[in-house]
Copies of this chain bind each other. A is one copy, B any other.
């Protein structure tokens, strides 16, 4: 066939989060205002430390920096982890272009085609892009809105493991569900990782965003399995610096880190100025981070109270991150999301949500769910939830649900 593309790339689908973009563009063209609850873009101003750090850069030649990332940045990250009683030396920390590159390098290093990965579904939709390209199969363990998306049991996890399972992955606190997995859940995963010789890929970019009595335990504190733990981290959410694209891969497994390092060499380096800015961000005071956390917690409380006023939706109180995964009383949440953009408004305003299906591996699941991001202010959340409430009513009337 003429100029055929690779099978790898034919497997890769358009991001489900971005699939609705044409509809939002049409809505904008019609003059509608949209509240974007579909993407995890914080509304918090990036600390000026970042921009000041960049402005203070004295280099005359913007040259390739070390493939592993600037030493000073790796030292800052080392110190940051010491606050959490985790001791990594800088050789165990590699800077990547966002957590995204770190995740891709990690999966590249571990999985061959048709290898399997243990994962709770729903999970971060972008993982599917990485799985699709590498042809990694999911051993998907279903979790439920009714149970706040916690893992139900050790057995439930264990029965999904096969001989081809090479690792486990999750984000904790979770994008997209807002669940924070408990010590018991982590213990179970650690037990299984040992028993079945699995890597644990722990995406902890929302580490600070923990609410109420919940506690987020890092897999970096599990010393007895430290050779199989890989932590993915990023400055994107912690410091509201998504556009800097600075993340890292952390592990005490030397062979693994060395394999990621070879990938770092192949792409030469991470951009210099963004690393310079990132170094400065690690000086953001702890009480400032606590202010961010408190603000998100207030929003969490606020949106959860709003949820209570919407008929027939199923959602538990989110525990961390800044997402809720909500079960709606509709058959097809994607159709509902498109309808909200193309046919509905309240005073010429509408909302954009992320349909749930793209967050699942198992065909057909998530059709009645949506991910809602609450990284915006309470006034906006209030208006958005009013649109959701009224939209649902109207939609169910039309569809006779």
A residues in contact (CB < 8 Å) with B = 2-9, 12-15, 18, 39, 41-46, 50-51, 54-55, 57, 59-65, 67, 97-98, 100-101, 104, 108-113, 115, 126, 129-130, 133, 166, 197, 199, 227-228, 240-246, 253, 255-256, 259, 262-263, 265-274, 277
Contact = CB atoms under 8 A, between A and B. Distances in A.
Nearest to A12: B262
B240 A100 contact: no
Contacts of A46: 60-62
A247 to B, nearest CB: 11
A227 to B, nearest CB: 7
Contacts of A267: 97-98, 100-101, 104
Nearest to A268: B100
Those 8 A-B pairs whose CB atoms lie nearest each other, nearest first: A129-B266, A243-B272, A62-B243, A46-B62, A245-B271, A15-B265, A45-B60, A9-B259
B15 A44 contact: no
Given A109-B6, A243-B269, A41 B63 contact: yes
Contacts of A271: 97, 243-246, 271, 273-274
B272 A12 contact: no
B15 A266 contact: yes
A91 to B, nearest CB: 14
Contacts of A101: 267
A242 B97 contact: no
B262 A9 contact: yes
10 contacts: A3-B256, A4-B166, A7-B112, A50-B62, A64-B242, A98-B268, A104-B266, A129-B266, A273-B274, A274-B274
A240 B241 CA distance: 26
A288 to B, nearest CB: 15
A2 B274 CA distance: 37
A255 B255 CA distance: 38
Nearest to A41: B63
A270 B43 CA distance: 19
B243 A108 contact: no
A269 B263 CA distance: 19
A109 B3 contact: no
B62 A12 contact: no
Contacts of A244: 62, 271-273
Contact of A273 (B4, B9, B242, B277): B277
Contacts of A39: 64
A13 B111 contact: no
Nearest to A105: B9
